[in-house]
Structure 1
Amino acid sequence: MATATRIKLSTTDSGVFSVGVRADSAQAASEVLQEDMEKHHIFFNAMHFHNHIVHHILTIYALGATPDIIKSAYERNQSYQRPVYPVDEHVVQEMSDKSKFKQYIYKEEHYTNFLVYFQREIDAKGVGAVLNEHLFAEDEHADGMLVRLFAGFLHPIIHLGFGIEFNQPAIVAQALAQAAVHDNWIEKFLIPAEKAAGGIGKRGTKTILQLLDEMRADKKLVESVQWSDGNKISEGVLLRAPDEMIKYASQYTVSADQVEEKMAEMINAVVYYTIAAQRPPKEIKFDFFYMHSVNSSIFFPALLSLPSLSTRAKLRLMEWKGRVDLAMYVSRGSPNLLLEEITNYQPSRDWKAIFDSSIRHSRDDGHVSKMVRAVANGERVCKPFEAGGKERGFIIQGDMWLKIGNMIIDSVSGPGDLWIRSTGFDEAWSKFEDRPRL
């Protein structure tokens, strides 16, 4: 049985999208993830690059990886991880006092202490109660943690999603500990946007597609980001055009009767802008940052199904995700989106071959397989709403999903960089080759 300190998968823990899961693979995945939790930090270097082992292993397990493939992926990616810091019992005890908890926030040397603290919290109270107290109580403590959940290019919420999706309390504890050691820069965007929207859960009248078009036509917003910016959201968009970004973001709202359709619309939109942001005749490449908007989308069916979360908490999660997706789009230079890059693509693989290629990719640290699985899930979630078409935000539909799966595998199959970074800028494309002439 899975607990807050023990990772234990079974074939019934296969997530919202899975194919061909195996009992022996569940055992292999459980073993390597337990070792990862006990031995490795959540950041693998001093620049706070994330340990993706949980993401990678659970994704390829869900896509039918054998024990050998799982163990090989683990060995490849554990080789560069940092060891955990030792537990300081005094600090763990102090974390129970929320006035002292905040003394340790955003200090990566306390990741292990936060992990042990949240493991004990979950053991004592259960996952639902802990999430409600530490993320959704709408007090200073919970809001401080919730904004951190959306920091780090969505890595903490991705980690939480895996814990919820695969019924692993220990991974939920890791996610909360990971959020605690992130900064809160995104608070200056999410909280003002929520206030500008008039609160949580107002009926949404605009689709993400509409807002993308409006933002791309706003010269000040588009030019707010420069190639030389480091964090292109905080040092670009929110520095040079904060009012404009908040104005558009606040127009993305979700009411209780819109949750299912808006979830599907969000998935459709992030897949669209990630895949269609191409620069012909350059070879097809996908933006590393946009890809995280896609990869995090798969968890919303699980998150929004949690019986312990209030409708208000679920609406807040949806609204914040959509607003981060909008800011993410602008932050990479607001590229033109070319739907014909998708519709004209000639696929050569079925989904089974796409899954097999992704789980066997020799250079993947989980991003490729996560993206493939998220797109396959998007096809399933969006299908009931496709009749609404572009007017309701569903521009990706039909055989485009399979074409996108093929595009992902083709884009990462050759030598060189797997991803482009900041696809809207000429400089980002300068290192990539033109496509072969047919």
Structure 2
Amino acid sequence: MSHVDDTMAPAQPRYPLLAPPAFAAGYPASTARPSSIFNFVGATPDATLTVRRVLEENNRAYDVYMRARFAHNHFSHSILSRYALGAPPALLQKTWEADRGVLVPLDPATEPDRDGPDISSTFPAAITTANWASKATLGKKPAYPLYLAFFHGEVARLGVVPTIETYLLSADANGGGDGSELLIRLVAGATHPFIHLGLGVEFGERLLVAEALASAALHDHRVNVGLFPHGWPQIGLPQSADGNATLLEIYAALVADPRLDPGPFDPELTYSEGMRASVAGERAGVIQRLVARWDLSDVGDAALPRHIEEVAWLATLIAGGTSKPGYPTRVDFFLMHVLTSSIFLPALLPPLGGNGRRIILQTYVLTILQIALARGRPKLYPAESMSWTATPAPKAPAPPRATDVIGDTASAAERSPWLAIVANSIVATDSHVPKSIRALLHYAQMYGATQAGAVPGANKIPGGEALDGSLFVRVAGRIMDVTGWVAAGERERRWDRSGLGWDEVWDMPDFERPIETAKTVE
């Protein structure tokens, strides 16, 4: 009689995979492939097949929100960031098994009261081109399966770029009196639908394009609709007499403008409340006029990379250059989303026509300025960021000194910092870590050789003359210091959520803002 040694059997995942509901049986297959803009080693046939399988499983069985219904399902962001950074198939699978523990079923009928009273009886049987903007479903989270099926069909019918143009850039998709404004909804929710769409385009994943548009349709845009001119984007920004400012100059002007004072420190202020307050009164108009100073008259193929580069420098400094000198480094959780979302412009913009490129760029920059204002309008400290080491490494004991090598392997100054940064980021349980590191690594690849004095607009901001292309590795290392070099044995640590623009928080190291609830977050 033979016996099976249970100790040799594969461990069962802590969170079993949910079966997809019957209505998802016809959902399309994954089309994911390696990134179209980010070049790094590690993608293999097996890794690609693993990514496709788990993205299909997520698409067919799980909601785009997590158990806390104001929090987004980050799994696709997590898996594709780790895949792009070279995570092998086994790690990709374990990422899926870990992440799905906080997810909820795609079929709302399994938990009909998840969002309060069951309102599904008010929904149509299906979303169509005739009713997709109906107030009966728009902005209603339980309608996600209906929108997902609809946008799967539209992506199949029209193709990716025409679907984006039809539902994000057209007049019909952005008003007409029905309040649809899907483009504005796309950049709500701390830019999560925008990130989702960017991943879909970058990795050629049609499932994510449909998920992104469905997610945008669910978002309540009351936190950001006031930022934009009424009728946006068909009604554009006001004309500016000074239309040649760089984004770094524009951000400096935002910080200096007394009309944009974020107000006194309020320890009870939530993120969403701060977003609403940031565009109250005359503030929205002031922000619009600031962004109008950015010259986008030429967004052709030759000029577009220059605009994208400006966003890269500003996004990196907003996330990694707002820690006040003389205090322990902090990286704001919401400002970090400016960095992680910015990487998708090189994928999203080139397939679009000139007007579409201009609309997306202006929409995005308006959004990141609103987020910064909602976080207390933090100053940029480029000299502080440039004082951080350009050869970051874990504080754990260095590897032993080898003999048959060039240099000293025990010296961080003689090792590649990026190898340790990537190795630590892809095993972090918080997906925002690999997302941040991937953006910074991409920018280091693109702009890492930039000399001091060559950063667009840097000479117009205090301390900007010190900026050069080493900024990206310096910020990446400091993010690892803040969040933890977990592969080296450090404990994972949290991002800051205090609102770094208010001076009071710097003397309150343990301050925590109130937890967002479904009532305070769109």
Please, what TM-score do these two structures have when normalized by structure 2? Answer: 0.74
What residue is the counterpart of 1:328 in the other structure?
A: 371
Where 2:105 maps in the other structure, the secondary structure is coil
- Letter of the 1:409 counterpart: M
1:190-339 equivalence runs, <5 A: 190-191=228-229, 197-198=237-238, 204-224=243-263, 226-227=265-266, 228-230=268-270, 231-242=272-283, 243-257=285-299, 258-306=303-351, 309-339=352-382
Distance 1:416 1:53, change over 3 A: closer
What residue is the counterpart of 2:80 in the other structure?
A: 58
Whether 1:403 and 2:474 are equivalent positions in the alignment is: yes
What residue is the counterpart of 1:418 in the other structure?
A: 494
Where 1:42 maps in the other structure, the secondary structure is strand
Distance 1:240 1:4, change over 3 A: same
Distance 1:418 1:105, change over 3 A: same
What residue is the counterpart of 1:156 in the other structure?
A: 193
CA RMSD, aligned part only?
2.9
Taking the aligned partners of 1:391 and 1:179, their CA distance within structure 2 comes to: 33
Taking the aligned partners of 1:196 and 1:403, their CA distance within structure 2 comes to: 38
Taking the aligned partners of 2:452 and 2:388, their CA distance within structure 1 comes to: 22
Taking the aligned partners of 2:107 and 2:71, their CA distance within structure 1 comes to: 17
Distance 1:356 1:202, change over 3 A: farther
What residue is the counterpart of 2:215 in the other structure?
A: 178
- Quote how far apart the aligned CAs of 1:300 are: 0.8
More helix per residue? 1
What residue is the counterpart of 2:403 in the other structure?
A: none
Contact persistence 1:224–1:240 (CA under 8 A):
no
- Letter of the 1:121 counterpart: E
What residue is the counterpart of 1:111 in the other structure?
A: 144
Taking the aligned partners of 2:126 and 2:298, their CA distance within structure 1 comes to: 39
- Quote how far apart the aligned CAs of 1:391 are: 5.2
Distance 1:83 1:4, change over 3 A: closer
Contact persistence 2:378–2:500 (CA under 8 A):
yes
Where 1:82 maps in the other structure, the secondary structure is strand
- Quote how far apart the aligned CAs of 1:268 are: 0.6
Taking the aligned partners of 1:384 and 1:202, their CA distance within structure 2 comes to: 34
- Quote how far apart the aligned CAs of 1:9 are: 3.3
Taking the aligned partners of 2:273 and 2:282, their CA distance within structure 1 comes to: 12
Where 2:315 maps in the other structure, the secondary structure is helix
Contact persistence 2:155–2:210 (CA under 8 A):
yes
Please, what TM-score do these two structures have when normalized by structure 1? Answer: 0.88
- Quote how far apart the aligned CAs of 1:30 are: 1.6
- Letter of the 2:164 counterpart: L
Deviation larger for 253-262 or 205-214: 253-262
Distance 1:202 1:66, change over 3 A: farther
Taking the aligned partners of 2:100 and 2:243, their CA distance within structure 1 comes to: 44
Q: In structure 2, list runs of 5 or more residues that go unmatched.
A: 1-25, 110-119, 394-416, 485-489, 511-522
Taking the aligned partners of 1:99 and 1:357, their CA distance within structure 2 comes to: 43
Taking the aligned partners of 2:201 and 2:264, their CA distance within structure 1 comes to: 35
Contact persistence 2:243–2:292 (CA under 8 A):
no
What residue is the counterpart of 1:93 in the other structure?
A: 126
Distance 1:4 1:373, change over 3 A: farther
- Quote how far apart the aligned CAs of 1:86 are: 5.2
Q: Alignment partner for residue 444 of structure 2, among 364, 369, 379?
A: 379
- Letter of the 2:443 counterpart: G
- Quote how far apart the aligned CAs of 1:14 are: 6.0
Deviation larger for 77-86 or 133-142: 133-142
Whether 1:389 and 2:433 are equivalent positions in the alignment is: no
Where 2:280 maps in the other structure, the secondary structure is helix
- Letter of the 2:278 counterpart: V
**Structure of greater Rg:** 2
**CA offsets 1:94-115 (integer angstroms, 9 cap, x no match):** 4321476443110000011100
Q: How many percent of aligned residue pairs carry the same amino acid? A: 25
- Quote how far apart the aligned CAs of 1:93 are: 3.4
Contact persistence 2:127–2:150 (CA under 8 A):
no
Contact persistence 2:274–2:374 (CA under 8 A):
yes
What residue is the counterpart of 1:360 in the other structure?
A: 427
**CA offsets 1:351-397 (integer angstroms, 9 cap, x no match):** 12211110012x31x10101001111122333587676355358542
Taking the aligned partners of 1:429 and 1:40, their CA distance within structure 2 comes to: 40
- Letter of the 1:264 counterpart: E
Contact persistence 1:20–1:62 (CA under 8 A):
yes
**CA offsets 1:210-249 (integer angstroms, 9 cap, x no match):** 1222222223412346433332544321125524333323
Taking the aligned partners of 2:71 and 2:27, their CA distance within structure 1 comes to: 24
- Letter of the 2:32 counterpart: L
What residue is the counterpart of 1:146 in the other structure?
A: 183
What residue is the counterpart of 2:63 in the other structure?
A: 41
- Letter of the 1:311 counterpart: G
- Quote how far apart the aligned CAs of 1:401 are: 1.8
Contact persistence 1:285–1:411 (CA under 8 A):
yes
Q: In structure 1, list runs of 5 or more residues that go unmatched.
A: 434-438
- Letter of the 2:290 counterpart: Y
